[in-house]
Structure 1
Amino acid sequence: MSSEWDEIGYVISSKYRVAVLRQLASEPSTPTTIAEESGLGITHISRALRRLREREMVELLVPEARQKGRLYALTELGEAVWKRIVTADLLP
């Protein structure tokens, strides 16, 4: 498994991944909500969610087969990475 700093670097290198973690740090959300709150495109948000999920920072809270209303939340790893990003003041 990669180090926490690898994960932090991965997140902060993309405004889309930052937007996803920022939104999910406050509450579980759908891709549409994240896109609306961040003002970013849904396609990019969906891709960021998929990649963050592959890295186990984000989890899907509804059944995999569900296509509408897919609700996502941070995992423990995602919470730890976001907290480190915020406390170390690594956001632009």
Structure 2
Amino acid sequence: MSAHWDTIGYLISSKYRLAVIHRLANAPATPTQIATDENLSPSHVSRAIQRLADRSIVELAVPETQRKNRLYELTPKGTTLWSEIRTAGLDR
């Protein structure tokens, strides 16, 4: 079993967190792009991003001082977790 199982459980327990990492696995994106691509509310996406950032799963891909068009990307930890989720068939 994965050493990351608690975190994987946390990720797959929310359709919003799962959608965010699914989208960011393809390329960096803004919260608006993620919301549009995944057909979700921007407020839910922003909240999911903040929670994922708190756990070092996603991070800003632009300077912290940039207030508009803030791109987010998966961290190496996030990429590893996404790979484990897909391998286990837990992605959607």
Question: 1:39-78 to 2 correspondence within 5 Å?
Answer: 39-78=39-78
* Alignment match, 1:32: 32
TM-score, normalised to structure 1, is: 0.93
Q: Residues 25-53 of structure 1: CA distance to partner in whole angstroms, max 9, x if unpaired?
A: 00000000000000000000000000000
Q: CA RMSD in A?
A: 0.9
Measure, in 2, the Cα distance between the counterparts of 1:7 and 1:90: 13
Which consecutive residues of structure 2, in runs of 5 or more, have no partner in the other structure?
Answer: none
Deviation at 1:65, TM superposition (A): 2.3
* Alignment match, 1:83: 83
Deviation at 1:66, TM superposition (A): 1.8
TM-score, normalised to structure 2, is: 0.93
Which consecutive residues of structure 1, in runs of 5 or more, have no partner in the other structure?
Answer: none
User: Amino acid of the residue matched to residue 87 of structure 2?
Assistant: T
Runs of 4+ more than 2 Å apart: none
Deviation at 1:62, TM superposition (A): 1.1
Identity %: 52
> What SS does structure 1 have at the residue aligned with 2:64?
coil
